[in-house]
């Protein structure tokens, strides 16, 4: 029987039911005379007698699912039978196969069934395999139809509950109102976060199953990414994409690469930028929406979403390799966020979540109501999960590059290059305006088989966790924030404010305590010296022939104001850091014990490592302050003379510009302290530093328009800050 059917069914095995064809309205029943296996027979008979949906034979000899019938438990009896067929064939049917487009799989399985000795009739095998495919689809609650490159996400155990547009708009309006309230009362930030999260979870539940994802795993698309990059002028030789035990996916060298060797370049045409967004389907809305114009990162997020839904998108080979989820706090559950309580990062986590929710609610309404949004592919399915994915993709990958004319900077996503993982070092990526491409030279020597790292910039672990979703061990640039200010009730406030103003330092600011020695920057040292000055010392920095010289040396550790002043400032810093340590509810030892728990989630472990690192940095600051206090106390007791300032000391910066002879502390604020003073919002995300030829570009902390001096752009920046405050 099997051999005869094989011979007869070529070229189309689907017609194997002849010479006794079934009428379209007749239900399929197995041929018991040719089926000696009673178990298989009974299982198939159970299916065809009503324990599963009906399957009708059409004129094209295909079976269609009668959608009016509800899926039943009869599906479960199909699995053992099919698994026996599959096991003998040593194949595994694809879980995403479509019942209406599974001809190749069905032909192969029907042919093999008769050949392997089970004597299962071909028509019964057809039904069996067809039922199995429909079982997968029914269990996932997906719709039937032609398979596309982008599929509706099959998340959870059920489809989204039918929800009216009015009901969804009401929920969105409630969320927008809640997120638009002024800053929460100090001490009640957690309560507000839980309330906002509750509204978001209601919305996510209503939208369950509506997000879009790609079939398969991201690594399945790596070959396509490499081919796409090569075809469009990017370098693809000397490395390959590989998964590493600790960092996940990254670049592995396939040959020896020398330090400072150019090994990777990506031309502009491959980059997703704010400029490419303007010329896309998003352009009409961008031209009318001031938020998109002011916040390039949001524009880039929507650009990414629109291109993801377009099966013909030029960037699809890149987009398909992006993670489906991230490890930023936006993806933490409530219990995992609890581990960040008492840390300095917690308020930034609350702010990030609130800003993201507010942006989503705002743009949901825009997409539903704005006339220029009618053609956006997001109009019928714009979920919170989609937006969270898009902003996380941008947040973890965005960078600043120069525009084509080099007049300003813009935000960009850089395919392939963004697969590199971080390590300590120096920024080695630049933009070549002449060749119009991003270029990366090797940070160090890399042997064949080693992972290729780059340096993301001088970021703290709080920034890495919040904006990148990882904690970096042995971070040489880790730091904690310390807010200090001169009280206006201080009787010497006016004099201190004047000295600080001459030094270019605000009277109140957020500074940093660093994990490495010295723990304080030149700016913080200058502030503390002024903060601890007595009246005579202040007068000496304001009047007299050497007043300007004394201002110049405020940030230089080699020229103390006085031994008494040094003792005061280090005593103050020791006490302040000790107070900050007491705000934590756990000790370093407690955190170490928590990290030993076997059931600790990845996100929880990352949060515990961050809070432990903050305490370790503060403990080092306390010790350093104590050591310095003792040193200067000894100098005072022994009558050690103060070092004298001499013209031309290395503490000064000389150049040809008139009036520009400035000490380091006056020349500019420390890069890290500047970043601490700026609000950490979704619009001000620190990302990989870039070099514009020889000039270092801002390290991703500002919006693209911050470097433009036009008045209208200042207004746009104000809009962005207001939207994210």
pLDDT band at 725 (very low <50, low <70, confident <90, very high): low
CA–CA distance, 452 with 372 (Å, rounded to integer): 44
Q: Is 295 helix (H, G, I), strand (E, B) or coil?
A: coil
Q: What is the pLDDT of residue 214?
A: 83
CB atoms near residue 42 (< 10 Å) = 13
For 650-672, the pLDDT digits (tens) are 444 333 333 333 343 333 334 44
Q: What is the pLDDT of residue 375?
A: 87
Mean pLDDT of the chain: 76
**DSSP 8-state class, residue 137:** H
User: CA separation (Å) from 425 to 474, 475, 650?
Assistant: 12, 10, 25
Domain ranges, ordered by start, for the chain: 2-147, 196-457, 479-682
Describe the chain by its helix, strand, coil percentages, rounded to 5. Answer: 50, 10, 40
pLDDT band at 420 (very low <50, low <70, confident <90, very high): very high
- What residues contact residue 612 under an 8 Å CB cut-off, 6+ apart? 588, 591, 592, 595
Q: What is the pLDDT of residue 149?
A: 41
Is residue 579 within a helix (H) or strand (E), and if so which, with residue range? Answer: helix 563-582
User: CA separation (Å) from 444 to 430, 438, 687?
Assistant: 16, 19, 21
Residue 47 scores a pLDDT above 60: no
Is residue 241 within a helix (H) or strand (E), and if so which, with residue range? Answer: strand 239-244
Q: Which residue has the higher pLDDT, 697 or 406?
A: 406
CB–CB of 12/108 below 8 Å? Answer: no
Arithmetic mean of pLDDT, 468-492: 96
Residue 388 scores a pLDDT above 50: yes
Q: What is the pLDDT of residue 215?
A: 85
Arithmetic mean of pLDDT, 507-535: 96
For 90-137, the pLDDT digits (tens) are 333 433 334 434 434 444 444 433 333 344 444 454 445 454 444 444
Arithmetic mean of pLDDT, 595-615: 97
- What is the value of pTM for the model shown? 0.71
Q: Which residue has the higher pLDDT, 362 or 163?
A: 362
For 269-319, the pLDDT digits (tens) are 999 999 999 999 999 999 999 999 999 999 999 999 999 999 999 999 999
Q: Which residue has the higher pLDDT, 231 or 695?
A: 231
CATH code for residues 479-682: 3.90.1420.10
Residue 434 scores a pLDDT above 80: yes
Q: What is the pLDDT of residue 161?
A: 52
Arithmetic mean of pLDDT, 173-181: 92
User: CA separation (Å) from 50 to 55, 57, 83, 553?
Assistant: 10, 16, 22, 91
Q: What is the pLDDT of residue 546?
A: 85
Instruction: For the chain, state the CA radius of gyration.
Output: 33
Q: Which own/partner contact pairs does 192-197 have at CB distance under 8 Å and 24+ positions apart?
A: 192/350, 192/354, 193/337, 193/350, 193/353, 193/354, 194/334, 196/353, 196/354, 196/357, 197/334, 197/353
pLDDT band at 520 (very low <50, low <70, confident <90, very high): very high
Arithmetic mean of pLDDT, 196-218: 90
Arithmetic mean of pLDDT, 423-435: 95
Arithmetic mean of pLDDT, 170-190: 87
Q: What is the pLDDT of residue 212?
A: 77
CA–CA distance, 555 with 544 (Å, rounded to integer): 20
Q: What is the pLDDT of residue 162?
A: 59
Task: Kindly state the percentage of the chain with pLDDT values over 90.
Answer: 60
Residue 236 scores a pLDDT above 70: yes
Q: Is 692 helix (H, G, I), strand (E, B) or coil?
A: strand
Give the residue from 601, 609, 599, 614 showing the smallest Cα distance to 334.
Answer: 601
Residue 224 scores a pLDDT above 70: yes
H helices within 60-164, ranges in order?
A: 78-89, 103-115, 122-140
Measured CA angle at 503 (ends 502, 508), to 5 deg: 100
Q: What is the pLDDT of residue 646?
A: 67
Task: Kindly state the percentage of the chain with pLDDT values over 70.
Answer: 66
Q: What is the pLDDT of residue 381?
A: 84
Q: Which residue has the higher pLDDT, 661 or 510?
A: 510
Q: What is the pLDDT of residue 442?
A: 96
- DSSP letters along 587-622, please? -HHHHHHHHT-TT--HHHHHHHHHHHHHHHHHHHHH
CA–CA distance, 66 with 59 (Å, rounded to integer): 16
Q: What is the pLDDT of residue 41?
A: 41
pLDDT band at 549 (very low <50, low <70, confident <90, very high): confident
Furthest C-alpha separation in the chain: 115
CA–CA distance, 495 with 530 (Å, rounded to integer): 9
Residue 680 scores a pLDDT above 70: no
Q: What is the pLDDT of residue 182?
A: 74
Residue 720 scores a pLDDT above 60: no
Q: What is the pLDDT of residue 2?
A: 37
Strands 451-454, 421-422: pairing is parallel
Q: What is the pLDDT of residue 80?
A: 52
CB atoms near residue 503 (< 10 Å) = 21
Arithmetic mean of pLDDT, 568-587: 96
CB–CB of 440/262 below 8 Å? Answer: yes
Q: Which CATH superfamily is domain 196-457 in?
A: set domain protein methyltransferase, domain 1 (3.90.1410.10)
């Amino acid at each position: 029987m099997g051999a005869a059917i094989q011979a007869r069914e070529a070229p189309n095995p689907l017609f194997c039911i002849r010479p006794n064809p079934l009428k379209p309205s007749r239900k399929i029943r197995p041929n018991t005379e040719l089926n000696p296996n009673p178990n298989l027979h009974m299982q198939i008979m159970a299916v065809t007698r009503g324990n599963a949906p009906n399957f009708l034979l059409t004129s094209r000899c295909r079976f269609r699912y009668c959608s009016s019938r509800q899926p039943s438990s009869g599906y479960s009896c199909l699995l053992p039978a099919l698994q026996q067929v599959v096991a003998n064939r040593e194949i595994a049917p694809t879980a995403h196969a479509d019942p209406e487009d599974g001809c190749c799989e069905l032909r192969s399985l029907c042919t093999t069934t008769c050949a392997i000795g089970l004597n299962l009739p071909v028509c019964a095998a057809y039904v069996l395999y067809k039922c199995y495919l429909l079982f997968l689809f029914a269990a996932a609650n997906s719709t039937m139809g032609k398979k596309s490159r982008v599929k509706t996400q099959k998340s959870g155990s059920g489809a989204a509950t039918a929800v009216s547009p009015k009901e969804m708009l009401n929920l969105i309006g409630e969320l927008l109102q809640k997120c638009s309230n002024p800053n929460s009362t100090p001490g009640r930030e957690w309560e507000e976060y839980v309330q906002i999260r509750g509204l978001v979870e209601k919305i996510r539940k209503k939208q369950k199953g509506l997000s879009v994802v790609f079939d398969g795993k991201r690594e399945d698309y790596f070959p396509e990414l490499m081919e796409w990059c090569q075809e469009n002028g990017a370098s693809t030789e000397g490395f390959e994409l590989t998964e590493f035990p600790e960092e996940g996916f990254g670049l592995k060298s396939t040959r020896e690469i020398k330090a400072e060797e150019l090994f990777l370049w990506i031309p502009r045409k491959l980059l997703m930028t704010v400029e490419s967004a303007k010329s896309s389907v998003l352009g009409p809305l961008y031209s009318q929406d001031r938020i998109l114009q002011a916040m390039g990162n949001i524009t880039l997020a929507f650009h990414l979403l629109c291109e993801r839904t377009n099966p013909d998108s030029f960037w699809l080979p890149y987009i398909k390799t992006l993670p489906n989820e991230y490890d930023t706090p936006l993806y933490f559950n409530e219990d995992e966020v609890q581990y960040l309580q008492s840390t300095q990062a917690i308020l930034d986590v609350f702010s990030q979540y609130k800003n993201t929710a507010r942006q989503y609610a705002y743009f949901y309404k825009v997409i539903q109501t704005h006339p220029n949004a009618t053609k956006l592919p997001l109009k019928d399915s714009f979920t919170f999960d989609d937006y969270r994915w898009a902003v996380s993709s941008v947040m973890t990958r965005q960078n600043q590059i120069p525009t084509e004319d080099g007049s300003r900077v813009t935000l960009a996503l850089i395919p392939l290059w963004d697969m590199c993982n971080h390590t300590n070092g120096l920024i080695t990526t630049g933009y070549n305006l002449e060749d119009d491409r991003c270029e990366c030279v090797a940070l160090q020597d890399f042997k064949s088989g080693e992972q290729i790292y780059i340096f993301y910039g001088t970021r703290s672990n709080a920034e890495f966790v919040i904006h990148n979703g990882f904690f970096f061990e042995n971070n040489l640039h880790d730091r904690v924030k310390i807010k200090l200010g001169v009280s206006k009730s201080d009787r010497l406030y006016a004099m201190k404010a004047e000295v600080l103003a001459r030094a270019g330092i605000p009277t109140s600011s957020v500074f940093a305590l660093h994990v490495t020695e010295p723990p304080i920057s030149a700016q913080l040292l200058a502030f503390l010296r002024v903060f601890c000055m007595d009246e005579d010392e202040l007068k000496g920095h304001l009047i007299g022939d050497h007043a300007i010289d004394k201002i110049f040396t405020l940030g230089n550790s080699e020229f103390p104001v006085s031994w008494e002043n040094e003792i005061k400032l280090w005593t103050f810093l020791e006490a302040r850091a000790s107070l900050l340590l007491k705000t934590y509810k756990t000790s370093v030892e407690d955190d170490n014990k928590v990290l030993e728990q076997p059931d600790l989630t990845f996100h929880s472990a990352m949060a515990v490592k961050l809070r432990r690192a903050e305490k370790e940095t503060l403990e080092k600051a306390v010790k350093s302050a104590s050591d310095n206090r003792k040193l200067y106390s000894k100098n005072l007791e022994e009558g050690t003379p103060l070092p004298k300032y001499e013209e031309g000391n290395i503490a000064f910066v000389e150049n040809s510009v008139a009036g520009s002879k400035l000490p380091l502390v006056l020349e500019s604020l420390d890069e890290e302290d500047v970043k601490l003073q700026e609000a950490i919002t979704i619009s001000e995300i620190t990302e990989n530093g870039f070099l514009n030829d020889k000039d270092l570009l801002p390290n991703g902390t500002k919006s693209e328009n911050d470097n433009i001096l036009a008045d209208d752009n200042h207004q746009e920046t104000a809009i962005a800050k207001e939207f994210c405050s």
